[in-house]
Structure 1
Amino acid sequence: MHNSPVNETPRMAATDEPFAIYHGRVISRGQLWADVAALARQLPEQPYLFNLCENRYLFCICLLAAAARKQTCLLPPSNQSAVIEEIRQTYPAAYLASDKNLPGNLEYIDIQAASLPPSSAAVELDWDRPAVIAFTSGSTGHPKPCAHSLRTFALSAQMAIGALGLSGQCRVMISTTPPQHMYGLETSVFWPLFSSLVLYDGRPFFPEDIRLAVATAPRPAILASTPTHLRSMVGAEGDWPNLTGILSATDTLPSTLANEMAAILGQSPREIYGSTETLSFASREILQDPLWRPYPGSRLTQDHAGQVWLASPHLPNSITLQDAIRIHQDGRFEALGRHDDMIKVGGKRISLSELNRRLKAIEGVEDGFCFLQQHDHGARLAAVVVSHLNGQDIRRSMKATVDEVFMPRKIHFVDHIPRNEAGKLSKSARESLLAVLNACN
């Protein structure tokens, strides 16, 4: 077990330092803890709650109030009633907390900020009990629970902020990803909680909304987004003078898109690498170096069976990674795709993730993914794309980087791909889309 101390005093103290932008006004750290203490007194006496708050500040005080009551927040991959009920079968004593009406007439506790005067009173927190159980997005099957303590989040935040050169910087973190997703949870909630960064309560979606959120932030802003969102911003008009950094995660950022972002937004994007199980533990700036660099203190090793393990101060134990990894001698690494999406055609192997990356890197392809399509004579590669190009143009472009045996035989064209709020395509959404496409052919 790692017993590294958490340097909690500077960031967790109730002070007049800014913590959040809530409904357009600055909330101090003293105000944060006053709101947490007030909400903690109102929560029912139950061991688990689904934290479904959309407003990021209300999500944060709900999470901390629950921790103060020794309750664990459940973070489902979506707030659909069927998903919640599926998870509820395992946690029958869980109640729902939200700041907005929920679908399906689900009963919930209404979460609002009490807006009491700032307090200097400390809130007692147990750093080592599970504060959050996050669930995988379901891209490979049923949501899988992953429990983490406040100590894990604190250490991870300190490592990430140090590795990215954000220590001591008072920047507004604007995120397009919901706080229930691990990427959004880390960067937009826990990073501000354990640093000088400032939480932004909204979640802008459309390019102009994102630009306005950045432009009107009271301090220089960092945008934490996804390749899907960044791609939609390529054609956005207007300037970005208040933008001081771009983070990307949840999918590989093509170098072509990174170049476009650097030209349009004036910033070279940084990517962070991790998972729901591990939290983030590496970063890269693809325009400078295509290899991932682990945060200081994090280390990858490979056993005799080829399995890669992550050991890091923020994790109580080493964790096996689900991705295929090639580790370089200096500790940097390449991510080759998930073990379960490796395919073999004509005696050659490649991951579907790598094929997807190369497909989406084609100029003129807005989005897309490859898949194996079953036929009477076996499986063949096919693709779904959002593009104004024709199939011949796409195949011609892919041939420059992809072996002939991996060329998609069939290319389906659609208006959009039903990705979730984190920019991922869940297994159920992918299967529903393919069922519709197959029925039309």
Structure 2
Amino acid sequence: MLETQKSPAPQTPLYSNHTAPFALHNGQMVSRGNLWADVTALAAQLPDRPYQFNLCENRYLFCLCLLAAAVRGQICLLPPAGQMAVILEILRDYPGAYIAREHAPQQTGLDWFEVIAPNSATAASPPHFDWQGTAVVAFTSGSTGKPKPCPHSLHTFKTSAEMAVSSLGLAEQQLLMLSTTPPQHMYGLETSVFWPLFSQLVLHDGRPFFAEDIRQTINTSPWPTVLASTPTHLRSLIKTTGTWDNLAGIISATDTLSAKLAGETAAILGQSPLEIYGSTETLSFASRETLLENPWQPYAGCRLHQDKSGQSYLQAAHLPDEVPLQDTVQIQADGCFTVLGRDQDMVKIGGKRASLTELNRRLLDIDGVDDGVCFSHENGRLAAVVVSRLDNQAIRLGLQPYLDEVFLPRKIHFVTKIPRNATGKLAKLELEKLLESLS
């Protein structure tokens, strides 16, 4: 089990040992010296453009592209989705951008660069980077409104990574980081790219999806492995029957991990999950072990405070300015905090209030419900959409011990699949279309 630490994060050197492993790429170990040789070679090949859409699916190639772009002074753009319509929309605000990926985009007429790993046989010293300038512009998913750009520097990612690996007990450990989320998403970017870059953790270039593929990847790894995943994926992993002998830890994010799912994960996979909390704007800045802690503990170097209106802000060593939080939180005297939800997440019926996030958590905790989501009709009545073998009555009985009668869904729709994106979050537009078709 990974252990959280309250001591300040050490100043991890960027390049400690050029022979030390950095990545597992196509099954072969890539040293840190080979990484810098590959970065330098790829940087010389990139088009002379101001912006790069980094759409590489292979995580090592993604890392090479991001760093090579930084060497050339190009800003790496990370769209909230890979659909071409989203790319074209962002392109209007970032003229001159090109697409970097392993294969040609489906839509023709766009400038793109085919990314091929140089596979340098010799080691090199690290190239020069502008640590303070904008290196990455990530875009919010749009779940709280129109997607907005969030610029970050390499210094921000370095400082954040050092705080995270120290607080999570991962500093000075040589473990493989395996992620089920794409590197274009902030959670995947932090845990599977920047954490290895600024520590002794090792990057895994793949993204196994199916539960048995994930288990086999972990069990055959040359290093003990930390899995960075999501509650959606964990619900599929606990259905496996094989052993997880090489699993060293589990990180979860993107959605609330219930105590029930955390307990099942610990029992079947043998590791108690750690949740991390953050956003595209802030990066991760707090953690908790779900089975032992309810309040979130900020990383060393991070602090929350509230103004008179109740708006919460994050002050952190990795951020140049304080950042307002989208969530409503309650801050304790020791600096830890609990998340109360978002204003748009609250439903009010008969003078009583409840969070849709909490309703969804209770719904997903029912044995026999594979997936599901609650929603509020315009008339204020609650309904649910589920993937389940259970009937209406069984689902309501599963919710009844935890919810006030007014929050039990009046109507339950049964579907074969709930639309979710690559990180396990609900796909907002697809979900709205599904709900319209059911009404």
Q: Verify same fold: TM over 0.5.
A: yes
- Map of 1:397 onto structure 2: 398
SS of residue paired to 1:349: strand
Q: Which moved more, 1:58-67 or 1:426-435?
A: 426-435
TM-score using structure 1 length: 0.95
- C-alpha displacement at 1:144, in angstroms? 1.6
- C-alpha displacement at 1:436, in angstroms? 2.3
- Map of 1:385 onto structure 2: 386
Unaligned residue ranges in structure 2 (runs of 5+): 1-7
2:9–2:167 CA contact under 8 A, matched in 1: no
Aligned: 1:139 with 2:143? yes
SS of residue paired to 2:130: coil
1:14–1:120 CA contact under 8 A, matched in 2: no
Letter in 2 for 1:432: K
SS of residue paired to 2:87: helix
Letter in 2 for 1:168: E
- Map of 2:71 onto structure 1: 68
- C-alpha displacement at 1:388, in angstroms? 1.4
1:351-430 matches, cutoff 5 A: 351-374=355-378, 378-430=379-431
Aligned: 1:229 with 2:238? no
Letter in 2 for 1:37: T
1:253-292 matches, cutoff 5 A: 253-292=257-296
| Cα deviation 1:171-227 (Å, max 9, x = unaligned) | 000000000000000000000000000000000000011011101111100000000
- C-alpha displacement at 1:405, in angstroms? 1.8
Q: Which of residues 103, 106, 130 is equivalent to 1:100?
A: 103
TM-score using structure 2 length: 0.95
| Aligned sequence identity (%) | 59
- C-alpha displacement at 1:395, in angstroms? 1.6
Counterparts in 2 of 1:356 and 1:268: CA distance versus 1, 3 Å: same
CA distance, structure 1, for counterparts of residue 15 and residue 280 of structure 2: 24
How many residues of Structure 1 are paired with residues of Structure 2 in the alignment?
431
- C-alpha displacement at 1:291, in angstroms? 1.5
Unaligned residue ranges in structure 1 (runs of 5+): none
Q: Which of residues 25, 48, 51 is equivalent to 2:54?
A: 51
- C-alpha displacement at 1:109, in angstroms? 0.3
CA distance, structure 1, for counterparts of residue 227 and residue 416 of structure 2: 27
CA distance, structure 1, for counterparts of residue 106 and residue 328 of structure 2: 38
Q: Which moved more, 1:418-427 or 1:174-183?
A: 418-427
- Map of 2:38 onto structure 1: 35
- Map of 1:432 onto structure 2: 433
- C-alpha displacement at 1:430, in angstroms? 1.3
- C-alpha displacement at 1:140, in angstroms? 3.4
Letter in 1 for 2:171: S
1:250–1:423 CA contact under 8 A, matched in 2: yes
Q: Which of residues 131, 146, 159 is equivalent to 1:155?
A: 159
CA distance, structure 2, for counterparts of residue 325 and residue 398 of structure 1: 25
CA distance, structure 2, for counterparts of residue 151 and residue 6 of structure 1: 15
1:58–1:112 CA contact under 8 A, matched in 2: yes
CA distance, structure 2, for counterparts of residue 137 and residue 57 of structure 1: 24
Letter in 1 for 2:420: R
1:366–1:387 CA contact under 8 A, matched in 2: yes
Letter in 1 for 2:380: A
- Map of 2:247 onto structure 1: 243
| Cα deviation 1:109-135 (Å, max 9, x = unaligned) | 001111123333330100111111111
CA distance, structure 1, for counterparts of residue 240 and residue 9 of structure 2: 45
CA distance, structure 2, for counterparts of residue 330 and residue 369 of structure 1: 34
CA distance, structure 1, for counterparts of residue 128 and residue 343 of structure 2: 42
| Cα deviation 1:56-112 (Å, max 9, x = unaligned) | 000001000000111111111221111111111111211100013323335410011
1:311-330 matches, cutoff 5 A: 311-330=315-334
Aligned: 1:115 with 2:133? no
SS of residue paired to 1:12: coil
SS of residue paired to 2:380: strand
- C-alpha displacement at 1:399, in angstroms? 2.0
SS of residue paired to 2:49: coil
Aligned: 1:187 with 2:188? no
1:140–1:426 CA contact under 8 A, matched in 2: no
